Amino acid sequence: DAKTTQPPSMDCAEGRAANLPCNHSTISGNEYVYWYRQIHSQGPQYIIHGLKNNETNEMASLIITEDRKSSTLILPHATLRDTAVYYCIVRVARLGGKLIFGQGTTLQVKP
């Protein structure tokens, strides 16, 4: 199963872009990269997902390298409410779409 590696913690100044990296060097061709975040004591919130191409939605952008071995989640203008644990997950298709959460990155947005 493809595993992901994320830095345990990052800081970001309010109003600046937050760039969260993720390594998934063993990803298979049909596996998607998903990003979720979890604000303290709440359920995980879906942010974005992608396969090969870069993706953007109202919350964030996802940049996937051409070899698909790593990706970066970009929050363009971080606010204090973006302080959370961010999980990068490779969705394992052959296991019925099972999500395997890693330890994630704790993003602290500071004023």
Shortest gap between Cβ of 109 and other proteins (angstroms)?
A: 20
97 binds other proteins (CB under 8 A): yes
| C-alpha–C-alpha distance, residues 16 and 23, integer Å | 23
Pairing type for strands 70-75 and 18-23 reads: antiparallel
Q: Per CB under 8 A, does 93 bind other proteins?
A: yes
57 vs 4, 12, 40, CA distance in Å? 22, 21, 23
- The least distance separating other proteins from the CB of residue 97, rounded to whole angstroms, comes to 5
C-beta atoms surrounding 51 within 10 Å? 13
Least Cβ distance, residue 85 to other proteins (angstroms):
8
Q: How many residues bind other proteins (CB under 8 A)?
A: 27
DSSP code for 11 = E
57 binds other proteins, rule: CB under 8 A: no
As given in the structure block, the two tokens for residue 84 are 């959370």
Candidates 9, 25, 26, 30; binder of other proteins (CB under 8 A) is 30
Applying CB under 8 A, the residues found at the interface with other proteins are 30-32, 34, 36, 41-46, 49, 51, 87, 91-93, 95-104
